[in-house]
Amino acid sequence: MDLRENIERVRAGIDAAARAAGRDPADITLLAATKTQSSETIRAAVAAGITACGENRVQELTAHLDDDAYGPAQVHFIGHLQTNKVKYVVGRVELIHSVSSERLLRAIADRAERMWLTQDILLEINLAGETSKSGFPPEEALAAARLAASLKGVRLRGLMCIPPAASAPGENLPHFQKLRQLAVDIRGEMVDNRVDMDVLSMGMSGDYRDAVAAGSTCIRVGSALFGPRPPMSPGGTAPGPSLPHD
């Protein structure tokens, strides 16, 4: 596995998809999904040009922070977060992508307020109503956004989704388009709330081109950079198999 080559390949894929959609590739962040990776691999990825890493598990986040593995790269949290672990994440990451319930939203805001900081967050939306996945149903997204806007400790930056694993190119495009439209609708409904919702976190190794075509500003890529992962043990977010990629 050649990390540099993989990064270049994914970047080229982002560039092509962005240009085909009339978008500026610079508007799309390539977030390395670093779950199960060692501090050494993370260091190598950052040395090879990765500017943002996304962690799924509090334990791995803490270990890699202790190791000073990220260097100058941003750190994001993208995995399922339990309310009792919020204290290990708030104030330590640039952006929490996976705010999936009102209870978690309040816990993050509470913790942030007590630390005198504002935590940037995304609302995770469960687009397809999959019972195996967390996230707000689309019809509850506006209420959650309104709640977020009312809480001093958080700043709502946008939406995130993990659609069902696609088995063919183009299959997840409608999901991505739906998330984008939802963000547009929420912005439209909240013109008075000073929300600056400019982040759409969507697209993984198997479907990031479709996500970019639909307006993603942040793709979360693991296996296309680091190679296949061993299956996750219970407790981790295992988004299921993704499309084979080049």
Minimum distance of ligand PLP from residue 208's CB (angstroms): 8
Question: Partners of 219 in the beta sheet?
Answer: 30
Minimum distance of ligand PLP from residue 113's CB (angstroms): 26
Minimum distance of ligand PLP from residue 80's CB (angstroms): 9
Give the rounded distance of the alpha carbon of 64 from its chain centre: 18
* Residue, CB closest to ligand PLP: 222
Between helices 141-150 and 102-114, what is the axis angle to 10°?
10
Binding site for ligand PLP (CB under 6 A): 33, 35, 56, 78-79, 162, 204-206, 220-224, 237, 239, 242
Specify the residue, 188 or 234, whose C-beta has the smaller distance to ligand PLP.
Answer: 234
Minimum distance of ligand PLP from residue 63's CB (angstroms): 17
Specify the residue, 23 or 220, whose C-beta has the smaller distance to ligand PLP.
Answer: 220
> Residue 31: in which H helix or E strand, if any?
strand 29-33
Question: Which tokens hold the place of 244?
Answer: 């084979």
For 41, other C-beta atoms within 10 Å of its C-beta total 18
Specify the residue, 92 or 229, whose C-beta has the smaller distance to ligand PLP.
Answer: 229
- CA dist list (Å): 109 to 12, 77, 91, 203: 38, 15, 11, 27
Minimum distance of ligand PLP from residue 219's CB (angstroms): 8
For 22, other C-beta atoms within 10 Å of its C-beta total 6
Specify the residue, 79 or 153, whose C-beta has the smaller distance to ligand PLP.
Answer: 79
